[in-house]
Structure 1
Amino acid sequence: MVTGCGFVYGAAALVIGYNCESSLQAANEQLKEGRGDQVAGTLSALLWFYPDNKRARLLRGVSYNARGMFPEAISDLSRIGPDDQEFLDGGLSLGASLVSDGQLNRAVDVFQQHLHRFPGAVECRIRLSDIFVNLLKHGDAISLWEQHLRHFPADPSGLLRLLDIECEVVSPAPRITYLKNIQRRHPGQPDVLIALGRLSFMAGNISDAEGALREAASTIDAQDLRQTYLCELLLANGESEKAEQILSLIEPDSATESERVALYWHLTGRVQEAFRKSGSAAAAFRRAIDADPSRPEYYLSFASASRSMAENAAAAAAASEALRLSRAWERLRQLALSLNRVDPSVEEVDEVAVNLAILHKTFQADHWRHVREMLQTGRP
């Protein structure tokens, strides 16, 4: 018969004699050889005695992730914090598991922590950028890669990713299917609901769009700039008064969200136009242009309001700028498709820079000019 005291002493002896390193090495080899299903068994004793062993948590979490056991992977990998040395691999693996499990909001937080700790982690930046693009948060994805260029000036891969994000033409159907699957597994994520609503609106599914956007609006603060997307739908439905009520509660002064700030002011202008207040509408459209001067539709709206006030010169200038921007966008999208990405010519690179400058994307244009100079001189 084993007494309680005898069991404790026996367990203690096992702990003292247990060879952690051999188990970790064996688990690592199993992962390398594609035998991930054996890792959990190899590490079970180690984690029984040492539940806070970060290396073991990492190896078992990675093996679970590879086998599609995402909740189990998340449970293990969440035990690895940003200050642990295993976070370089563990944070990336945790974020990937969260994405696969459909927990996009948590994945964004983890990837952002990872980039804060390791700003040169390109794979993490790619994964986070993909989330933003899938959620139609193109402004956030652009900021992410511009941040990368501050660490690695004129990096070709970063510039090309930026170009693709800027020029993406969204196809709603496949993204709606993807996000609906996520919504079924983890309902109530506001950014998922907003993206679903916007994509449904693009696809002409007004009822689905309204349902998703109203649910999203109920989960975020009334002052949140993301409320603007519901206002966009309300205006399309002719519900100007309801849109005005929502817009009146939003606080738009945020330097980090220029894309959404611009949309806020553009919608405010459209509400004022609906109430036949051309002066207020023109002022709001001007603020939209100031926040994001790359959008032709903002200039066209300003031109319309200016014409209503018989300010024909201002209207003509705005319409002309809208046409110039539209042509620059069209040419940039053509270049994104035709550009030689392995060995671009000086002329191609220069044309990308010129059109980005027309679109008031000075930061990106400057980096493309730097690439042009490198090609011309042969120097980095």
Structure 2
Amino acid sequence: MGNRENRQGWPRGGVLVTSVVVLAVAVVAWLLKPSDRTRWTAIERDLEAQRWDDAVLGLSRWVERHPDDGQARVRLGTSLRMIGRADDAREALRRVSDADPAWPTAQFLLGELARERFDRAGAERAYRAVIARQPGAVEPRSRLVTLLFVQRRTEEARALLWELLGLTGDARHLVTLTGLALERRQVEQFRDLGGEGDQLLQQLQPFLEVSPDDPWMRRARGLIRFEQGDPAGALADLEFAARSMEGDPSVRLALAEAWRTLGEPGRVAEVVGPAPESPTDLARWWLVIGQAEQEQGRDEEAIAAFRRAIAADPEHLSAHYRLGRALARDNRRDEADSILGRAEAIRGRTDALKFAINERLSEGIDAASCLQMGQLCLDTGMAAEAFAWFEQAIRLDPLDREAQAALARLGPVEPEPITPPKLREQVAEIDPRRPPVPVGTPAEGIVGPRFEDEATARGLAFSYDSGEQGDFFIADTMGGGVGLIDFDNDGWLDVYLVNGCPLPVDAEHPPAPNRLF
């Protein structure tokens, strides 16, 4: 009886033994199963040793178990980027919630990935998102400054450099700001950029290959070619940028100067745009108008324009030379000599500041050199930069009485507010050859939009083949179709053109292809 089996054929006590064995196996498995702490420690070892493939494997498993761990997704994105899997890295980073503390880091890395594939818009959008979330962030500002310089968006870069100076106190930013402020007074003249111009164009080229009609990049190419002394090569890009942008005196003035240089001074008034608010831009605006008046034989109008340029910016070197020479040609020698003498004095101050900037770039910066830079900036009419240099001197030497006295005499000076140009909603909204509407003109006097056929010039070449064979099916008479969609998700409409085909459809003779532009 003791060995009698139960009805299922199991010996008595077998079920209990089996249950104990199963339980023991489960306990052992549970004991052997690594904990989250163990897994994360292994991931960190892989990351520290730069074993990126192992790190990707471990992090991929981790985010499956912890889908809300933004920091893990950031590390996964970083590891994927290191092994060249950029698309997968972007996907991992995009999954970080904007409520997660790791979101700014994810956005910064998305900006880096966009910059590496020469996606100007994507990189800028990501960097600006981080700055908006973290007003004190330094690194995204630095990256954005570099990106803006590539695009010749110098004024926006200057605004960010002022912010970086306030955040870091790094005088190197102030050296750059001083050089940029000085350079703004020389843009109306062609400059020998030498190899620097070619290098700038080479930096632009990959961005243009990715987005050939990005208005910012075409604007940059036009401005660089203009500054190189190639107005004919700059013209198409400058006109495109003038149609694409509003509130952009840099492009308008370069375009006006290009037309004047190409022997059409009469077009300057059409393209120069409204008077800018910035004193430096306003001086250049009057200077361009004055040169155009002069070339059309209107000497008195030219002299009046040059005087207005000096009134806008009393330290504008070229405006003084233009006025002095115009007065000399008009036999007003005494006034001409006085103006040209002031021009030489301005040149001396400008050259001294240029020399000091180069010294600061090659040598260290101490309180004495900051004081010198401040005084030179003050002499050339750059009050905001002078104030910042005096502050820098006190930061390095709080007991510097000379710097303290200079600050007290100058009083608080804020950098000139910058209103960057903006993209128009529609590129064809304005014709740069249309005369600007004078200030105060009523709205009903504004000329409406005009359209021009630029399809071929833009590369939009497409021949429609209806495929009709004399039978005149209804499809033969209706023509093809066109779809306007943002196919590559860059914010600009792409064009999809549809061809016809013979009817009935003949598989042996396929129709002409459709085209996506």
Sort the TM-score into its range (normalised by shorter chain): 0.7 to 0.9
Match in the other structure for 1:201: 226
Matches within 5 A, 1:1-380: 30-45=46-61, 54-67=70-83, 69-70=85-86, 72-78=88-94, 84-151=100-167, 155-163=170-178, 165=180, 171-218=196-243, 220-221=244-245, 224-225=248-249, 226-247=251-272, 250-253=273-276, 262-278=283-299, 280-282=301-303, 284-285=305-306, 288-289=309-310, 295-304=316-325, 315-316=336-337, 318-339=339-360, 343-377=364-398
Would the aligned equivalents of 2:275 and 2:282 in 1 still touch at CA under 8 Å? yes
Task: Output one character per residue of 1:219-252: Cα deviation in whole Å (capped at 9) or x when no partner.
Answer: x0466433333223222212223332222xx344
Task: Output one character per residue of 1:250-292: Cα deviation in whole Å (capped at 9) or x when no partner.
Answer: 344456xx66555444333333333444555455545555665
C-alpha distance in 2 between matches for 1:156 and 1:359: 19
Instruction: Give the C-alpha shift of residue 328 in structure 1.
Output: 2.7
C-alpha distance in 1 between matches for 2:227 and 2:218: 14
Task: Output one character per residue of 1:72-120: Cα deviation in whole Å (capped at 9) or x when no partner.
Answer: 5445445557765224423332222222222224433433333333333
Mark the structure with the bigger radius of gyration.
Answer: 2
C-alpha distance in 2 between matches for 1:103 and 1:208: 25
Secondary structure of the equivalent of 2:259? helix
Distance 1:251 1:340, change over 3 A: closer
Secondary structure of the equivalent of 1:61? helix
Would the aligned equivalents of 1:194 and 1:229 in 2 still touch at CA under 8 Å? no
Stretch deviating more after TM superposition (183-192 or 136-145): 136-145
Distance 1:27 1:337, change over 3 A: farther
**Residue identity (%):** 20
Instruction: Give the C-alpha shift of residue 63 in structure 1.
Output: 3.2
Would the aligned equivalents of 2:175 and 2:360 in 1 still touch at CA under 8 Å? no
Would the aligned equivalents of 1:179 and 1:196 in 2 still touch at CA under 8 Å? yes
C-alpha distance in 2 between matches for 1:260 and 1:141: 17
Distance 1:105 1:307, change over 3 A: farther
Match in the other structure for 1:10: none
Instruction: Give the C-alpha shift of residue 179 in structure 1.
Output: 0.8
Distance 1:205 1:251, change over 3 A: closer
Instruction: Give the C-alpha shift of residue 58 in structure 1.
Output: 2.4
Stretch deviating more after TM superposition (128-137 or 369-378): 369-378
| RMSD over equivalenced CA pairs, Å | 4.0
Secondary structure of the equivalent of 1:339? helix
Task: Output one character per residue of 1:40-94: Cα deviation in whole Å (capped at 9) or x when no partner.
Answer: 4444455567777543442333334444555554454455577652244233322
Aligned partner letter, 1:127: R
Aligned partner letter, 2:173: G
Identify the structure with the greater helix proportion: 1
Instruction: Give the C-alpha shift of residue 183 in structure 1.
Output: 0.9
Instruction: Give the C-alpha shift of residue 141 in structure 1.
Output: 2.3
C-alpha distance in 1 between matches for 2:291 and 2:305: 9
Would the aligned equivalents of 1:119 and 1:148 in 2 still touch at CA under 8 Å? no
Match in the other structure for 1:9: none
Stretch deviating more after TM superposition (363-372 or 58-67): 58-67
TM-score, length basis structure 2? 0.57
Q: Which runs of 5+ in 1 are unaligned?
A: 1-17
Stretch deviating more after TM superposition (173-182 or 141-150): 141-150
Instruction: Give the C-alpha shift of residue 37 in structure 1.
Output: 4.2
Instruction: Give the C-alpha shift of residue 365 in structure 1.
Output: 1.0
Would the aligned equivalents of 2:276 and 2:285 in 1 still touch at CA under 8 Å? no
C-alpha distance in 2 between matches for 1:199 and 1:238: 20
TM-score, length basis structure 1? 0.74
Distance 1:45 1:315, change over 3 A: farther
Secondary structure of the equivalent of 2:162? helix
